[in-house]
Structure 1
Amino acid sequence: MTKSDNGGRAAVKPGKRERLVAAASRVLHEQGVEKTTLADIARVADVPVGNVYYYFKTKDQLVEAAIEGYAQGLQAMIASLDQLHSPQERLKALLGGWAEQRELAARYGCPTGTLSSELGKRADGLDLAAATVMQLLIDWAEQQFHSMGRSDSRDLAISLVAAYQGISLLTNVFHDPELMAGQIHRLEDWIDSLA
């Protein structure tokens, strides 16, 4: 435990496993799976590299844990968005969150999209694990469009996620966060036009 600045109360430092998963998520996003080593992750997590093997026997196990972390983060975000009144508000809040991350996308792309793209070239199960995170987002967006009374809700959900993934790629390729800002505004107008 470490002492915090919030009234002298103690704050619990995340455990080694949690720090390793968080570090893996960050480093994998920044460097990609192939370039990332367990030593890179251990350094960012502030965990001795020998301790990594206590929690994860292979790099692939750590990659899988990072994917699970992405899924949990997405589920938490969805739970927060689901508190909003209408499906249009929920979808536009999702877009707002993406817009807030445009600087990060300009540097490294979408965390889930880049990881899914890289792992999609493999056929070892990690490709399917990454795909489930993307599927979770598509399914949620489909529910929102369905709640708007759209019979083409599946197609609209795929269009929304595809548009975001495409602009994330271009934002990264051109290192221009304003590309994403402009496209997010267009997507907001598009959602309004569907109501």
Structure 2
Amino acid sequence: MSASETRQQIVAVADRLFYEHGYEATSFADIAKDVGLSRGNFYYHFKSKDEILHAVIEQRMAATRALLDAWEQDAEAPADRIRRFVRILIANQTKIMAHGCPVGTLCNELAKLDHAAKDDAARLFTLFRSWLARQFAALGREADADTLALHVLMRSQGVATLATAFHDEDFIRREVADMEAWLQAQRPLASRPHFHQPA
């Protein structure tokens, strides 16, 4: 395995452990053990846990951008793109019920620690916020696009938090359905489908 591949593996393992156990509770030794490296070889790639955290955040940013770009290409309608975001809750419900939202949990922990990387982690939310706002603007809601984007983020984070607390798949599905109905109602009246009652 090349040095670059080893580094990528370290970051992937650290990302998982930070998510499952928390940044503070995860040690260098934990990461090295899971990767299968000696401490000496490990230090060749990263000198501190903060260096690994920075790499994890950058990897998450790159993965999130790639995901959002894929949604842009796959779904022509902005409402369908927003729906893709909302349905993350269902697609990842097992992980969310076990460990919460990976973005929310990391941001919360780093904020409590007053860690220097807390603002870097929050960029993940900013990335989602900006992307959602663009979709709402494309939907015809330019004036309040950012407000609507924050509302979707707030709802999804609330659902993730309660899903972790109650481990209730039905709750997640009900909330996602409710968010999708809400999304339908945000479309300008002229663009909503009209259903005519038969004579």
Please, what TM-score do these two structures have when normalized by structure 2? 0.87
RMSD of aligned alpha carbons: 1.7
Q: Distance in 2 between matches of 1:79 and 1:13?
A: 29
Does structure 2 retain, via aligned residues, the 8 Å contact 1:29–1:108?
Answer: yes
Task: Give the total of aligned pairs.
Answer: 185
Which among 20, 27, 37 is matched to residue 37 of structure 1?
27
Identity %: 31
Structure 1 residue matching 2:113: 3-state secondary structure:
coil
What residue number does 2:76 align with?
A: 85
Note if 1:65 corresponds to 2:58: no
What residue number does 2:193 align with?
A: none
1:13 positional shift: 11
Cα gap change, 1:18 to 1:145, in 2 (>3 Å): same
Q: Distance in 2 between matches of 1:108 and 1:15?
A: 27
Structure 1, gaps ≥5 residues long? 2-11
Which among 148, 168, 192 is matched to residue 184 of structure 2?
192
Q: Distance in 1 between matches of 2:58 and 2:67?
A: 14
Counterpart mapping for 1:139-150 below 5 A: 139-150=130-141
Structure 2 residue matching 1:129: 3-state secondary structure:
helix
Give, as a single letter, the amino acid of the residue that structure 1 aligns with 2:7: R
Q: Distance in 1 between matches of 2:117 and 2:46?
A: 15
What residue number does 1:23 align with?
A: 13
What residue number does 1:8 align with?
A: none
- The structure that is helix-richer by fraction is 2
Counterpart mapping for 1:112-123 below 5 A: 112-123=103-114
Note if 1:176 corresponds to 2:187: no
Which among 36, 44, 53 is matched to residue 54 of structure 1?
44
Structure 2 residue matching 1:15: 3-state secondary structure:
helix
Structure 2, gaps ≥5 residues long? 188-199
Does structure 1 retain, via aligned residues, the 8 Å contact 2:89–2:160?
Answer: no
1:61 positional shift: 1.0
Note if 1:157 corresponds to 2:160: no
Give, as a single letter, the amino acid of the residue that structure 1 aligns with 2:131: W
